[in-house]
Protein backbone atom coordinates (compact mmCIF):
# COMPACT_ATOMS: atom_id res chain seq x y z
CA UNK A 1 0.00 0.00 0.00
CA UNK A 2 2.81 2.40 0.97
CA UNK A 3 4.69 1.55 -2.21
CA UNK A 4 1.57 2.31 -4.25
CA UNK A 5 1.07 5.66 -2.48
CA UNK A 6 4.75 6.57 -2.86
CA UNK A 7 4.65 5.60 -6.53
CA UNK A 8 1.51 7.68 -7.14
CA UNK A 9 3.03 10.67 -5.33
CA UNK A 10 6.22 10.39 -7.38
CA UNK A 11 4.20 10.08 -10.61
CA UNK A 12 2.16 13.21 -9.76
CA UNK A 13 5.32 15.09 -8.85
CA UNK A 14 6.99 14.18 -12.15
CA UNK A 15 3.87 15.23 -14.08
CA UNK A 16 3.77 18.53 -12.20
CA UNK A 17 7.45 19.20 -12.96
CA UNK A 18 6.91 18.36 -16.64
CA UNK A 19 3.88 20.66 -16.72
CA UNK A 20 5.88 23.48 -15.13
CA UNK A 21 8.70 22.98 -17.63
CA UNK A 22 6.26 22.92 -20.53
CA UNK A 23 4.51 26.06 -19.27
CA UNK A 24 7.83 27.83 -18.74
CA UNK A 25 8.98 26.97 -22.27
CA UNK A 26 5.63 28.08 -23.68
CA UNK A 27 5.82 31.44 -21.88
CA UNK A 28 9.45 31.91 -22.97
CA UNK A 29 8.54 31.10 -26.55
CA UNK A 30 5.59 33.53 -26.56
CA UNK A 31 7.07 36.13 -24.25
CA UNK A 32 6.14 39.06 -26.50
CA UNK A 33 2.47 38.09 -26.40
CA UNK A 34 2.55 38.21 -22.58
CA UNK A 35 4.47 41.48 -22.64
CA UNK A 36 1.79 43.03 -24.86
CA UNK A 37 -0.86 41.70 -22.43
CA UNK A 38 0.67 43.56 -19.49
CA UNK A 39 -0.89 47.01 -20.22
CA UNK A 40 -4.35 45.44 -20.48
CA UNK A 41 -3.86 43.46 -17.28
CA UNK A 42 -2.58 46.59 -15.51
CA UNK A 43 -5.62 48.54 -16.72
CA UNK A 44 -8.11 46.02 -15.35
CA UNK A 45 -6.24 45.63 -12.08
CA UNK A 46 -5.97 49.36 -11.46
CA UNK A 47 -9.40 50.51 -12.63
CA UNK A 48 -11.57 47.44 -11.97
CA UNK A 49 -10.09 45.23 -9.25
CA UNK A 50 -8.25 47.57 -6.87
CA UNK A 51 -11.31 49.90 -6.55
CA UNK A 52 -13.31 46.89 -5.29
CA UNK A 53 -11.59 47.45 -1.94
CA UNK A 54 -13.82 50.50 -1.51
CA UNK A 55 -17.04 48.45 -1.75
CA UNK A 56 -17.03 47.91 1.99
CA UNK A 57 -18.04 51.55 2.56
CA UNK A 58 -21.53 50.45 1.45
CA UNK A 59 -21.72 48.92 4.94
CA UNK A 60 -20.24 51.96 6.69
CA UNK A 61 -21.13 55.58 7.40
CA UNK A 62 -18.17 56.73 5.39
CA UNK A 63 -16.56 60.01 6.35
CA UNK A 64 -13.87 61.49 4.11
CA UNK A 65 -12.00 62.92 7.09
CA UNK A 66 -12.00 59.61 8.98
CA UNK A 67 -11.05 57.48 5.97
CA UNK A 68 -11.89 53.88 5.14
CA UNK A 69 -10.59 52.28 8.32
CA UNK A 70 -11.99 54.63 10.97
CA UNK A 71 -15.45 55.24 9.50
CA UNK A 72 -18.09 53.52 11.69
CA UNK A 73 -19.89 50.40 10.49
CA UNK A 74 -23.55 50.82 9.55
CA UNK A 75 -24.50 47.28 8.54
CA UNK A 76 -27.34 47.15 6.00
CA UNK A 77 -28.57 50.64 6.82
CA UNK A 78 -27.95 52.11 3.36
CA UNK A 79 -29.58 49.15 1.61
CA UNK A 80 -32.71 49.56 3.76
CA UNK A 81 -32.81 53.26 2.86
CA UNK A 82 -32.34 52.36 -0.79
CA UNK A 83 -35.20 49.86 -0.94
CA UNK A 84 -37.56 52.19 0.93
CA UNK A 85 -36.85 55.13 -1.37
CA UNK A 86 -39.67 55.56 -3.96
CA UNK A 87 -37.11 57.09 -6.34
CA UNK A 88 -35.21 53.79 -6.41
CA UNK A 89 -38.01 51.86 -8.12
CA UNK A 90 -38.48 54.55 -10.75
CA UNK A 91 -34.74 54.58 -11.48
CA UNK A 92 -34.59 50.79 -11.59
CA UNK A 93 -37.53 50.69 -14.01
CA UNK A 94 -36.03 53.38 -16.26
CA UNK A 95 -32.63 51.66 -16.34
CA UNK A 96 -34.08 48.24 -17.13
CA UNK A 97 -36.41 49.54 -19.86
CA UNK A 98 -33.73 51.59 -21.61
CA UNK A 99 -31.25 48.71 -21.42
CA UNK A 100 -33.78 46.19 -22.74
CA UNK A 101 -34.72 48.49 -25.63
CA UNK A 102 -31.05 48.93 -26.50
CA UNK A 103 -30.45 45.18 -26.27
CA UNK A 104 -33.44 44.26 -28.43
CA UNK A 105 -32.61 46.83 -31.12
CA UNK A 106 -28.87 47.31 -30.81
CA UNK A 107 -27.67 43.73 -30.43
CA UNK A 108 -29.10 42.04 -33.57
CA UNK A 109 -28.57 45.04 -35.87
CA UNK A 110 -24.74 44.73 -36.12
CA UNK A 111 -25.18 41.03 -36.87
CA UNK A 112 -27.46 41.83 -39.81
CA UNK A 113 -25.12 44.52 -41.11
CA UNK A 114 -22.08 42.24 -40.88
CA UNK A 115 -23.94 39.47 -42.74
CA UNK A 116 -24.84 41.85 -45.57
CA UNK A 117 -21.35 43.36 -45.67
CA UNK A 118 -19.90 39.86 -45.90
CA UNK A 119 -21.91 39.31 -49.09
CA UNK A 120 -20.44 42.35 -50.85
CA UNK A 121 -17.84 41.23 -53.37
CA UNK A 122 -16.65 44.66 -54.53
CA UNK A 123 -13.85 45.24 -52.02
CA UNK A 124 -13.53 49.02 -52.49
CA UNK A 125 -17.26 49.57 -51.95
CA UNK A 126 -17.23 47.29 -48.91
CA UNK A 127 -14.35 49.18 -47.28
CA UNK A 128 -16.02 52.52 -48.00
CA UNK A 129 -19.21 51.42 -46.26
CA UNK A 130 -17.22 50.07 -43.32
CA UNK A 131 -15.32 53.35 -42.92
CA UNK A 132 -18.54 55.37 -43.01
CA UNK A 133 -20.31 53.31 -40.36
CA UNK A 134 -17.20 53.21 -38.11
CA UNK A 135 -16.93 57.02 -37.87
CA UNK A 136 -19.70 57.62 -35.25
CA UNK A 137 -17.84 55.43 -32.77
CA UNK A 138 -15.13 58.10 -32.52
CA UNK A 139 -17.57 60.98 -31.92
CA UNK A 140 -18.07 61.89 -28.26
CA UNK A 141 -21.51 61.93 -26.68
CA UNK A 142 -21.56 65.72 -26.09
CA UNK A 143 -20.99 66.20 -29.83
CA UNK A 144 -23.71 63.67 -30.65
CA UNK A 145 -25.95 65.51 -28.20
CA UNK A 146 -25.36 68.73 -30.14
CA UNK A 147 -26.11 66.97 -33.44
CA UNK A 148 -29.31 65.55 -31.96
CA UNK A 149 -30.44 68.97 -30.78
CA UNK A 150 -29.66 70.38 -34.23
CA UNK A 151 -31.84 67.72 -35.83
CA UNK A 152 -34.74 67.62 -33.39
CA UNK A 153 -35.13 71.22 -32.22
CA UNK A 154 -38.77 72.28 -32.84
CA UNK A 155 -37.72 75.85 -33.78
CA UNK A 156 -34.70 75.46 -36.07
CA UNK A 157 -34.05 71.71 -36.34
CA UNK A 158 -33.84 69.85 -39.65
CA UNK A 159 -36.77 67.60 -38.71
CA UNK A 160 -38.90 70.65 -37.87
CA UNK A 161 -38.15 72.01 -41.36
CA UNK A 162 -39.36 68.76 -42.95
CA UNK A 163 -42.54 68.86 -40.83
CA UNK A 164 -43.14 72.44 -41.94
CA UNK A 165 -42.84 71.47 -45.61
CA UNK A 166 -45.35 68.67 -45.01
CA UNK A 167 -47.65 71.05 -43.07
CA UNK A 168 -47.32 68.94 -39.95
CA UNK A 169 -47.12 70.58 -36.54
CA UNK A 170 -43.57 70.21 -35.17
CA UNK A 171 -43.04 67.93 -32.15
CA UNK A 172 -40.54 68.73 -29.43
CA UNK A 173 -39.03 65.25 -29.23
CA UNK A 174 -36.36 66.21 -26.71
CA UNK A 175 -38.89 67.26 -24.06
CA UNK A 176 -41.36 64.47 -24.82
CA UNK A 177 -41.43 61.62 -22.31
CA UNK A 178 -42.98 59.34 -24.93
CA UNK A 179 -40.14 59.84 -27.41
CA UNK A 180 -37.06 60.30 -25.22
CA UNK A 181 -36.25 56.63 -24.69
CA UNK A 182 -36.54 56.08 -28.42
CA UNK A 183 -34.04 58.89 -28.97
CA UNK A 184 -31.61 57.22 -26.56
CA UNK A 185 -31.94 53.91 -28.37
CA UNK A 186 -31.53 55.34 -31.87
CA UNK A 187 -28.56 57.57 -31.04
CA UNK A 188 -26.85 54.67 -29.25
CA UNK A 189 -27.50 52.42 -32.25
CA UNK A 190 -26.07 55.00 -34.67
CA UNK A 191 -22.92 55.44 -32.59
CA UNK A 192 -22.15 51.79 -31.84
CA UNK A 193 -23.50 49.47 -34.53
CA UNK A 194 -20.68 50.02 -37.05
CA UNK A 195 -17.93 49.35 -34.55
CA UNK A 196 -19.73 46.26 -33.22
CA UNK A 197 -19.73 44.70 -36.69
CA UNK A 198 -15.94 44.28 -36.56
CA UNK A 199 -16.05 41.17 -34.37
CA UNK A 200 -18.76 39.51 -36.46
CA UNK A 201 -16.95 40.26 -39.73
CA UNK A 202 -13.77 38.75 -38.28
CA UNK A 203 -15.72 35.65 -37.23
CA UNK A 204 -17.27 35.33 -40.69
CA UNK A 205 -13.82 35.20 -42.29
CA UNK A 206 -13.09 32.03 -40.28
CA UNK A 207 -15.93 30.05 -41.89
CA UNK A 208 -14.70 27.43 -44.34
CA UNK A 209 -15.49 28.61 -47.92
CA UNK A 210 -16.22 25.01 -48.89
CA UNK A 211 -19.39 25.18 -46.80
CA UNK A 212 -20.70 27.99 -49.02
CA UNK A 213 -19.69 26.05 -52.14
CA UNK A 214 -21.52 22.95 -50.89
CA UNK A 215 -24.62 25.04 -50.13
CA UNK A 216 -24.51 26.53 -53.64
CA UNK A 217 -24.26 23.06 -55.18
CA UNK A 218 -27.31 22.04 -53.14
CA UNK A 219 -29.20 24.96 -54.66
CA UNK A 220 -29.20 27.32 -51.69
CA UNK A 221 -29.64 30.97 -52.58
CA UNK A 222 -27.83 33.91 -51.00
CA UNK A 223 -30.22 34.33 -48.09
CA UNK A 224 -30.34 30.60 -47.39
CA UNK A 225 -26.53 30.48 -47.31
CA UNK A 226 -26.54 33.37 -44.85
CA UNK A 227 -29.09 31.64 -42.61
CA UNK A 228 -27.77 28.07 -42.78
CA UNK A 229 -24.01 28.69 -43.09
CA UNK A 230 -23.07 32.18 -41.91
CA UNK A 231 -25.29 32.40 -38.83
CA UNK A 232 -24.39 28.94 -37.43
CA UNK A 233 -20.74 29.67 -38.18
CA UNK A 234 -20.68 32.72 -35.90
CA UNK A 235 -23.22 31.50 -33.34
CA UNK A 236 -20.53 30.93 -30.70
CA UNK A 237 -19.40 34.54 -31.07
CA UNK A 238 -23.00 35.78 -30.87
CA UNK A 239 -23.59 33.83 -27.66
CA UNK A 240 -20.41 35.10 -25.98
CA UNK A 241 -21.10 38.74 -26.91
CA UNK A 242 -24.71 38.39 -25.79
CA UNK A 243 -23.58 37.11 -22.40
CA UNK A 244 -21.11 39.98 -22.06
CA UNK A 245 -23.85 42.42 -23.05
CA UNK A 246 -26.26 40.97 -20.51
CA UNK A 247 -23.60 41.26 -17.81
CA UNK A 248 -23.40 45.02 -18.38
CA UNK A 249 -27.11 45.47 -19.08
CA UNK A 250 -27.54 48.06 -16.31
CA UNK A 251 -24.72 50.24 -17.69
CA UNK A 252 -27.06 52.43 -19.69
CA UNK A 253 -24.56 55.13 -20.54
CA UNK A 254 -23.87 58.07 -18.24
CA UNK A 255 -22.41 60.31 -20.97
CA UNK A 256 -25.33 59.76 -23.31
CA UNK A 257 -28.07 60.50 -20.78
CA UNK A 258 -26.24 63.51 -19.34
CA UNK A 259 -25.79 64.91 -22.86
CA UNK A 260 -29.41 64.44 -23.96
CA UNK A 261 -31.56 64.60 -20.81
CA UNK A 262 -33.29 67.71 -19.50
CA UNK A 263 -35.60 68.42 -16.53
CA UNK A 264 -38.70 67.82 -18.67
CA UNK A 265 -37.85 64.12 -19.20
CA UNK A 266 -36.12 63.19 -15.93
CA UNK A 267 -39.08 61.03 -14.96
CA UNK A 268 -38.20 58.59 -17.76
CA UNK A 269 -34.50 59.45 -18.17
CA UNK A 270 -33.08 59.20 -14.64
CA UNK A 271 -30.93 56.04 -14.40
CA UNK A 272 -28.56 54.51 -11.86
CA UNK A 273 -25.49 56.19 -13.36
CA UNK A 274 -26.89 59.73 -13.28
CA UNK A 275 -28.54 59.16 -9.89
CA UNK A 276 -25.31 58.00 -8.25
CA UNK A 277 -23.48 60.99 -9.73
CA UNK A 278 -26.01 63.48 -8.38
CA UNK A 279 -26.40 61.89 -4.97
CA UNK A 280 -22.86 60.61 -4.47
CA UNK A 281 -20.67 63.34 -5.94
CA UNK A 282 -22.85 66.41 -5.55
CA UNK A 283 -24.36 65.50 -2.15
CA UNK A 284 -21.34 63.57 -0.80
CA UNK A 285 -23.43 60.49 0.11
CA UNK A 286 -20.66 58.06 -0.78
CA UNK A 287 -21.84 55.09 1.29
CA UNK A 288 -25.37 55.27 -0.07
CA UNK A 289 -24.30 55.47 -3.71
CA UNK A 290 -21.79 52.64 -3.17
CA UNK A 291 -24.73 50.54 -1.96
CA UNK A 292 -26.59 51.49 -5.14
CA UNK A 293 -23.61 50.48 -7.29
CA UNK A 294 -23.18 47.20 -5.40
CA UNK A 295 -26.85 46.38 -5.94
CA UNK A 296 -26.47 47.12 -9.66
CA UNK A 297 -23.43 44.84 -9.88
CA UNK A 298 -25.29 42.05 -8.06
CA UNK A 299 -28.17 42.28 -10.54
CA UNK A 300 -25.68 42.14 -13.42
CA UNK A 301 -24.05 39.02 -11.92
CA UNK A 302 -27.41 37.27 -11.55
CA UNK A 303 -28.37 38.15 -15.12
CA UNK A 304 -25.12 36.96 -16.71
CA UNK A 305 -25.12 33.69 -14.73
CA UNK A 306 -28.76 33.09 -15.65
CA UNK A 307 -28.13 33.89 -19.32
CA UNK A 308 -25.11 31.58 -19.33
CA UNK A 309 -27.19 28.72 -17.90
CA UNK A 310 -29.89 29.24 -20.51
CA UNK A 311 -27.24 29.38 -23.24
CA UNK A 312 -25.74 26.06 -22.14
CA UNK A 313 -29.15 24.42 -22.18
CA UNK A 314 -30.25 25.84 -25.54
CA UNK A 315 -26.99 26.07 -27.53
CA UNK A 316 -24.81 23.79 -25.34
CA UNK A 317 -22.18 26.49 -25.01
CA UNK A 318 -21.50 29.32 -22.61
CA UNK A 319 -18.84 31.83 -21.63
CA UNK A 320 -18.51 31.20 -17.88
CA UNK A 321 -18.35 27.43 -17.41
Spell out the long-range contacts of 197-203 with Cβ–Cβ below 8 A and sequence spacing 24 or more: 197/110, 197/113, 197/114, 197/117, 197/130, 197/133, 198/134, 199/237, 199/241, 200/110, 200/111, 200/114, 200/115, 200/234, 200/237, 200/238, 201/114, 201/117, 201/118, 201/130, 203/233, 203/234, 203/237
Listed in order, the ranges of the chain carrying CATH 1.10.3720.10 are 62-314
Q: Supply the pLDDT for residue 208.
A: 86
What pTM, to 2 d.p., does this model score? 0.78
Q: What is the pLDDT along the chain (321 residues), one digit of tens a residue?
A: 444 444 455 545 555 555 555 767 777 877 888 888 899 899 989 888 888 888 888 888 888 888 888 888 888 888 898 888 888 889 889 988 998 899 899 899 999 999 999 888 888 888 898 889 999 999 999 999 889 888 888 777 778 778 777 777 777 888 888 889 999 999 999 999 988 898 899 889 888 888 888 888 888 888 888 888 888 888 888 888 888 788 777 777 788 888 888 888 888 888 888 888 888 888 888 888 888 888 888 888 888 788 777 777 766 655 545
Roughly what angle, to the nearest 10 degrees, separates helices 123-134 and 177-204? 140
**Looking at domain 62-314, does it have CATH number 3.40.50.2300?**
no
Amino acid sequence: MNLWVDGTTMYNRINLELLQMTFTKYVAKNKWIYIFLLPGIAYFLYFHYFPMYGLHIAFKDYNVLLGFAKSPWAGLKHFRVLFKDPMFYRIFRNTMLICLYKLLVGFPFPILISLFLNEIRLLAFKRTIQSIIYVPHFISWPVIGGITYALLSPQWGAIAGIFELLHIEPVNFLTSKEHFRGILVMTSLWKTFGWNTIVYLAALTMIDPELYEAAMIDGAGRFRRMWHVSVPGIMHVIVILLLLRVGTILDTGFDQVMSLANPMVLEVAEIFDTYTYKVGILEWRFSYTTAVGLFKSAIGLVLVVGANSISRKVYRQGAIW
